[in-house]
Amino acid sequence: MAAEVLSAGGVAVTLYERMPSVGRKLLIAGRGGLNLSHSEPFDRFAARYGAAAALLKPALVAFPLSDLVAWAEGLGQETFVGSSGRVFPKSMKASPLLRAWLRRLTARGVVIKTRLEWRGWDAENALVFQSGANVVRDTGDIVVLALGGASWPKLGSNGAWRKTVVARGIDVKPFRPSNCGFVVDWSDVFRSRFEGEPLKGIELSFDGKTVRGEALITRAGIEGGAVYALSAPLRDAIEAQGHARLHVDLRPELSEAEIAGRLERQRSDQSAANALRKALAMPPVQINLLREVLGKALEGGATLARQIKHLEIELRAVQPIDRAISSAGGVALDAVDADFMIRGLPGTYAVGEMLDWEAPTGGYLLHATLATAVTAARAALLRLS
Ligand SMILES: Cc1cc2nc3c(=O)[nH]c(=O)nc-3n(C[C@H](O)[C@H](O)[C@H](O)COP(=O)(O)OP(=O)(O)OC[C@H]3O[C@@H](n4cnc5c(N)ncnc54)[C@H](O)[C@@H]3O)c2cc1C
């Protein structure tokens, strides 16, 4: 996006990428439909960035949803707002957008050099890139670093740049998983039977925050949209105390009394599992989750109703960063100015996920990534002029 704005402003741009092709993480994001942004009111939208909202807000104002939609549509990708308020391209893919974008950048003269990893600066302050034994040096009036975070390193963003940037005296916070899964000690029986099964329409709560949505039972534990939304406070709690208890409501649309009433109306000679199936249409994964977590045979009536509304899953660890959707950590927010220019490095900007901010899934990651690049590139154009 920085290359887009700078080249549109008439600047000669060279884009270096360590992988054989660019935009690999964007393409993976496309597998989930490419959630570009969210249509909720701006104040709620900006609040999703937590402590980073103050720094990011001006960039989000300068590149609002309408501009993001116009950019996607300019690349032939009409967008729509899903029932959850999330914004997607109608194609629900990243590849047509990326193809059109690369065509446009190339037509504007942007030179894309792949398989070259940025390794830092040499004694003359030139940028040093390396591919095996091949070392390339380059200088620019403007440098935009957009090196990503440290999740899914096989897609290119491995966070290896952190050492180089720290050595230059810039504060870079350690990377931590964000929008990540958690480790649960499932029994072998539960794991082998229910790995890959979704828990639909549930409500998760932790530390005063409640999210309705879906979670997924995995080999290692639990992940999915609703879990990701609580992942920052869960991660912080596990880092501080070694564990966290995730509160689960399996039937958020019913009160405890309504559930108890429905269970009481069932025949008393049938098993609790049968009663749950008939009274609440509860799928096997949920019935067995109750058994798994409670560690005993299910009782009926009011006790069971309470357990359905107040199940607590013990999370033992955070899943590794290479499986997380995004990462927290990166260039400290006070190491950059309001235009994302690195303090003490005039003309060098840091944008996107490599900055120390985090946000839930829902389009917030891509929108802020693009917005920070737009702001930095517009500031760079002013600086050049
Ligand atoms: C599975 C998955 C699904 C996602 N879905 C969504 C979604 O639907 N909506 C959303 O908003 N977000 C989503 N995200 C997150 C989103 O893709 C990222 O936040 C976003 O791509 C960050 O953009 P970026 O340009 O900052 O970094 P990246 O996209 O990671 O790009 C950084 C680039 O820099 C290159 N690079 C790194 N180091 C060097 C170096 N030393 N030298 C040269 N090149 C280097 C990397 O190879 C990479 O190509 C998803 C992420 C994952 C993993």
Overall domain count for the chain: 2
Q: Compute, in angstroms, the gap from residue 26 CA to the centroid of ligand 1.
A: 6
1-31 confidence digits (pLDDT tens): 999 999 999 999 999 999 999 999 999 999 9
Q: What is the mean pLDDT of each run of 10 residues along the chain (385 residues)?
A: 98 98 97 97 96 97 98 98 96 98 98 98 97 96 98 97 97 97 97 98 97 96 96 97 98 96 89 92 97 86 92 97 96 98 98 97 97 98 97
Residues 138 and 167 placed together within one structural domain of the fold: yes
> Are 378 and 339 part of one and the same domain?
yes
Domain enclosing residue 240, as ranges: 182-318
Tell whether 138 and 90 lie within a shared domain.
yes
Q: How far is the CA of 148 from the centre of ligand 1 (A)?
A: 5
Last residue of a domain, one of 296, 318, 340: 318
User: What is the rounded average pLDDT for all residues in the chain?
Assistant: 96
Q: How many whole angstroms from 366 Cα to the centroid of ligand 1?
A: 9
Going from the C-alpha of 278 to that of each of 167, 250, 264, 303, the distances in angstroms are 63, 15, 12, 18
Which residues line the pocket of ligand 1, CB cutoff 6 A? 16-19, 22, 24-26, 28-29, 32, 34-35, 117-118, 146-148, 151-152, 156-157, 161, 325-326, 352-354, 363, 365-366, 369
Indicate if 253 and 107 belong to the same structural domain: no
Residues 189 and 146 in one domain: no
For residue 126, the domain's CATH number is 3.50.50.60
Does residue 247 share a domain with residue 130? no
Question: Angle CA(135)–CA(173)–CA(367) in degrees, nearest 5?
Answer: 85
Give the mutation target among 24, 137, 152, 325 for probing the ligand 1 site: most ligand atoms within 8 A of CB: 325
* In a shared domain, residues 154 and 18: yes
pLDDT in tens, 273-292: 999 999 999 999 999 999 99
Question: Are 363 and 304 members of one domain?
Answer: no
Q: Which of 4, 5, 1 is nearest to 379 (CA)?
A: 5
213 and 244 part of one domain: yes
Which amino acid type is present at position 129?
F
